[in-house]
Structure 1
Amino acid sequence: MTPDGELSIHIEDVAPWKPPDGQPGRGMLLRTNRGDIQAVIHNDKSSKTSKAVIWVYGARGGFVGPGNGLYTELAEEMKSQFTSLRLDYRFPNDIPECVMDTLAGVSFLKATDHSEIVLVGHSFGGAVVISAAPMSEEVKAVAALSSQTYGAS
């Protein structure tokens, strides 16, 4: 928390992490002042891009849903066009903390020269991305899929 009571998060380090079995992409831990965030990045290292998508899950977090792997499939299929980052929540179903996790993902992408970021959220994740988007000028678009509105500001 900042001195004026605002929530804040910053990345202190990025470390390798092994994603769950069967998950494509490169796993990493975003080590933040609020705890570690597990993430999987999908990119084509031979194709430099400033465009990225952060895929945000429902209330339980994880890396499987929605649609039994839709985000994973899309991230892999489109990695030659843009970078994808899939995040797991530190505290699932806690909108302020999930927003902080999403903003940490934005911060990571910004630090890796991504200036055009899209946030995609499913169900609870829709409220998360709607809430997170106005907090970063790098976020250019939001897609809320089967979203709830509770918690969205």
Structure 2
Amino acid sequence: MPGTIAIEVEGARVDVRPTDIRRTPQAGEAYDTVEIETDRGTTVCRYYEAQGTRVGVVMVGGTGGGFDTPARGLYPRLAQDLPNHRISALRVQYRHPTDLVESVFDTVLGLRYLESRGVTAAGVVGHSLGGAVAIQAAANVPAVRVVVAVATQSAGTEPVAALAGRAAILLVHGDRDPVLSHTSAEEVYRRAGEPKRLIVYEGAGHTLDETAESLYVEVKAWLLKHLPGTLV
């Protein structure tokens, strides 16, 4: 990873210096724990490696923190399945899950880690706040080719317009989301360029548990369609 990583979010520039990276296998698990130490703290990730691949996906949650996931385990399911299609997966835990800027920094660190492992084309999947985080991270990392925003907020998603022609945007929302209205996804969709797709599920709430199976199929298909060199 480079000596200093610079990101720009909401007009603010943040410079971060990684100081150490530790990768630790986890007995009985499909992932290794990766800890990226920086001068702003330690970002912890779960890394599901596809050997020899040049394609990877980073997955991030919302303000709940930890390794949270929408849709009845969407992220761990994807993370264990994607390596079968020659895609490495990295789940990132935010250090400060209610802070957009710091969460973008964590996500960019994850993307840079994948690059250090040989990844040249990446996707980012984010839920809730993570939708805005995914878009901001994509704007900061040219290797990102796919963005999936699940039940996204609209605040902080302005850079989506600049991703036109470079990153394929999938927006998914439930029409009974009590936390963030599906109009947020519709607004982001209007500002996004092609390729893009919007899915609004009838009767689904903020975590989209009601449509978990359909959501899994749609997200996986979008990633496989728009990431180069995958096995479909």
* TM-score, normalised via structure 1 length: 0.86
- 1:81-134 superposed Cα distances (whole Å, 9 cap, x missing partner): 200000000111100000010111111111111010101101110010111111
Q: Does structure 2 conserve the Cα–Cα contact (< 8 Å) formed by 1:24 and 1:72? A: no
Q: How far apart are residue 64 of structure 1 and its match?
A: 3.5
Equivalent in the alignment of 2:79:
75
Amino acid at match of 1:6: R
Structure 2 unaligned regions, length at least 5: 7-11, 159-232
- The correspondence for 2:137, drawn from 108, 116, 132, is 132
Equivalent in the alignment of 1:30:
36
2:69 is paired with a residue of what secondary structure? coil
The structure whose Rg is larger is 2
Amino acid at match of 1:12: T
Mapping for residues 17-96 of structure 1, pairs under 5 Å: 17=24, 24-45=30-51, 48-80=52-84, 81-96=86-101
**Stretch deviating more after TM superposition (26-35 or 83-92):** 26-35
Q: Does structure 2 conserve the Cα–Cα contact (< 8 Å) formed by 1:98 and 1:128? A: yes
2:132 is paired with a residue of what secondary structure? helix
- 1:123-151 superposed Cα distances (whole Å, 9 cap, x missing partner): 11001011111111111121111111122
Q: Does structure 2 conserve the Cα–Cα contact (< 8 Å) formed by 1:14 and 1:30? A: yes
* TM-score, normalised via structure 2 length: 0.59
Report whether the alignment pairs 1:112 with 2:117: yes
Equivalent in the alignment of 1:10:
17
1:6 is paired with a residue of what secondary structure? strand
Q: Percent identity?
A: 31
CA distance in 2, matches of 1:8, 1:152: 21
Structure 1 unaligned regions, length at least 5: none
Q: Looking at both structures, which has the greater relative contact order when contacts are Cα pairs under 8 Å and sequence separation is at least 6?
A: 1
CA distance in 2, matches of 1:40, 1:71: 11
